[in-house]
Structure 1
Amino acid sequence: MDIDIGNGILGAILGVVFATLFQQWTQDLWFKVRRRAAGRVRSLTYRPGDGGGWGTFSLGPLHTPALIVEGDGDRPIAPDSVHVQVLDGEVELPAELAAWRAEIEAEEARAEAAGERRPVWNGERYAVESVDVTRTPLDEAPEVHLRLRPTDYYTFLAAQQLDRRLPDGSTPRRRWLDPDAPLTAPAFLQCSFAANVAVVTADDLLVISRRGDRVRMAPGLWNSSVNEGLARNLDASGRRHAPDLHALARRGMREELSLEPHEYRLELLAFVLDVEHRMWSAHFYARLTDMTGEQLRARTSRGVADRWEHSAMEYVPFRTADVARHLLSPERRHRWAPLAPALFHLALVHVHGRASVERAEAAVVRRL
């Protein structure tokens, strides 16, 4: 009897000692196994083109080239979880694309000299070298590492000719892009990063803009409430200083809707890639604290800095069924900018929850 009691006490003591010494080690090991397994599954299923893995955003008959790389709308990405680095050295174009850039520069100079039109401004931009996502050890929150290189607008225009024939008969898309590895691309083909914001008024109206007919990219298409591209001269205090993505979104809110930071709550929902045009976006949700749709109409009627970028604004009730019907209406279904439908879906999920949004969207699709 005494031996059994002694063995029991000894076993309890050893158990406490073992748990104290090895609990953290076993937790760390389990976390590493989970991350490795998740990465293995992700790498095996990431096939946007084969229909069996991750695909670009679609809703019923509406298909877009928007690949949601990180974020599901449910949980915002914290500002301090986004790390932006600007690398030394501007983007270098291959010789064939450098010749296309020279053509663009020469044509703009000719048009200006002839007085035909104002030349396209060769603004200072950023190219995306890479976007890498990791997870924090404790809560598996995302950590996003964005690496940028300096570039300019003429380089962007040259690289946008992805389906133009090269001297050997191929195209930039075929030569430098792998459809099975959409996140792997040379920086010279990714000379665009923007913030897209879904703005919802205090009385629950979603603001939808229509791009102006004079803009170079996606003229006349319906788009996010706010769309603002990263610019080196505006978004960095000095050539080497890394830009802040939330500050970029706030600049867009001010320039396109005349809204100041104290008038809304801003949350980062996702990082999204337009795989067709190789354009990256940070998708944001902004909720106006007190301003209604009518008050925002009155505000913008008194002037906005970049009015020329938009030809119209609409206000849609921010309910899933209403937004889904708006996205899928026959007259608009093929008139959306590539990244806008995914943005509105993520904003709905953020506010109403994934299960509720997907049920309502499915019901709208069934009634088409």
Structure 2
Amino acid sequence: MDGIDVANGVAGAVIGMVFAVLFQQPLQDAWYRLRRRSAGAIRALARGNESGPAWRAFSLGPLHTSALIVEGDGTSPIPSETIHIHVLDGEVELPPDMVPWRAEIAEQSESLRAEGRAPLWNGPRYAVESFDLSRTALDETPEVHLRLRPTDYYTFLAAQQLDRRLPDGTTPRSRYLDPDRPLEAPDFLQCSFAVNIAVVTADDMLVVSRRSDRVRMAPGVWNSSVNEGLSRHIDSSGRNAPDLHSVARRGMREELSLEPHEYTLDLLAFVLDVDKRHWSAHFHARLTQLRSADLQARMSRGVADRWEHQTIDYVPFNPATVIKYLMRDDRVHRWAPLAPALFHLSLVHAYGRTPVERAEAQIIRRL
């Protein structure tokens, strides 16, 4: 081999090394991107023939709930004047084969009374016969038509046994509920309508309560700041229908000792627990002057319904902190079904949808 051949060989080797250094990695990256996009296109084509339910319960990463947000997304409050509530005559009637279940509850209550213990309080309640939505003609504001029927707590407890076997082997859930039609259910299975409120103090602390172990329904779980059920005796004057904002103000007074002039109140959404058939009006309340320390001091001087809560946490009210709190190992599976959706909607109401969803996505990726 002469000198020219050696020089050409060396030059070719150098050029090959330079080419490999400069172009090999970009070519590999381009090939990887092409493969990934092709695989994504194939998956998208496969999904094109699939279908899913239009209604999905609220979830956030590993946090799954049975809370279905029926109306409202947190961005704009629902005006009180667009909520129309009509109370029907005639109490809810259980099917004949569920009537003995209510009798069992009444007997249990009498046994507790005979033993000198607190009986089950059979308070007058409302059942939801129907919940209908429409829009106002000019600005398309949500308009809610809610039809209620009288019932009581014993009927509610009997109807909560959704998976108990009936004489024919079916259950109330299998006989009366269609999972593909979550908004349709007989009134006797919907004997619960409550308000749930996310309360934020003047120093930006979210109030989170833990339900007492003494309550019959969902003891010990973490819940909204305030939870108050509609009462026929308290919330209806004569034959007038209840007002949801008034119920919320009653809950604020009874559970946190707060008066109406001390906060602003916005109705954000209507939500249904599709598992237990509990309806809720979700509110956001902002204290105008009271800080978290002030609220704790206020509550130390007496609360009407103190027995309903056993613990209260104060969480900095910003998207990242609240979402991390929802996902905590000792919280993620201990939430009341309607609470996480409430706190999400309150964050959206305060910060906007995009920042909240960005924070949620970042935190979920890090889990």
| TM-score after normalising by structure 2 | 0.85
Give the equivalent residue in structure 1 for 2:104. 103
1:266 aligns with 265
Separation in 1 of the partners of 2:233 and 2:182? 29
On the 8 A contact 2:53/2:180 being kept in 1, the answer is no
Q: Deviations over 1:260-310 (max 9, x none)?
A: 000000000000000000000000000000111111111111110000000
- Taking the aligned partners of 1:209 and 1:297, their CA distance within structure 2 comes to 13
- Segments of structure 2 that go 5 or more residues without pairing to the other structure are 1-50
Shift of 1:132: 0.5
| 2:72 is equivalent to residue 71 of structure 1 | yes
Distance 1:233 1:310 in 2: 23
Counterpart residue number, 1:170:
170
Report the counterpart of residue 318 of structure 1 in structure 2. Answer: 317
Deviations 1:162-210 (A, max 9, x none): 0000001100000000000010000000000000000001111100000
What amino acid is the match of 2:138? L
Cα distance, 1:97 vs. partner?
1.1
Residue aligned with 2:349, SS: helix
* C-alpha distance in structure 1 between counterparts of 2:74 and 2:320, whole Å: 17
Question: Within 5 A, what are the aligned runs for 1:230-241?
Answer: 230-238=230-238, 240-241=239-240
CA distance in 1 between counterparts of 2:258 and 2:86 reads: 28
Counterpart residue identity of residue 54, structure 2: G
Residue in structure 2 matched with residue 278 of structure 1 by the alignment? 277
Instruction: Provide the residue aligned with 1:8 in structure 2.
Output: none
1:215 equivalent in alignment to 2:203: no
**Aligned positions of 1:60-209 closer than 5 A:** 60-115=61-116, 117-209=117-209
- Alpha-carbon offset, residue 108 of structure 1: 1.1
Instruction: Indicate the SS of the match to 1:143.
Output: strand
Who wins on radius of gyration, i.e. which is larger? 2
Partner of 1:46: none
The CA deviation at 1:53 is 2.7
Question: What is the number of residues matched between the two proteins?
Answer: 317
1:299 aligns with 2:298: yes
TM-score by length of 1: 0.85
User: Which amino acid counterpart does residue 356 of structure 1 have in structure 2?
Assistant: P
Q: Deviations over 1:101-148 (max 9, x none)?
A: 011111211221233x21100000000001101001111100001100
Hey, what does 1:254 align to over in structure 2?
A: 253
* Paired position in structure 2 for 1:335: 334
Look up the equivalent residue of 1:267 and give its one-letter code: D
CA distance in 1, matches of 2:216, 2:104: 17
C-alpha displacement at 1:96, in angstroms?
1.2
- Tell me how large the CA RMSD over aligned residues is: 0.8
Structure 1 159/52 Cα, relative in aligned 2: closer, same or farther at 3 Å? closer
4+ runs of 1 displaced by more than 3 Å? none
Fraction of identical pairs, as percent? 71
Partner-residue secondary structure (3-state), 2:286: strand
Mapped to 1, the partners of 2:77 and 2:52 lie a distance apart of 28
Matched with 1:4 is: none
Give the whole-Å Cα distance in 2 for the aligned partners of 1:172 and 1:246. 33
1:216-264 deviations in Å (ceiling 9; x for gaps): 11100000000000001110112x2200000000000000000000000
Deviations along 1:305-343, whole A, 9 cap, x unmatched? 000000010100100010000000111100000000000
Inter-partner Cα distance in structure 1 for 2:258 and 2:350: 21
The residue aligned with 1:309 is 308
Gaps of 5+ in 1: 1-49
Partner in structure 1 of residue 227 of structure 2: 227
Residue number in structure 2 paired with 1:41: none
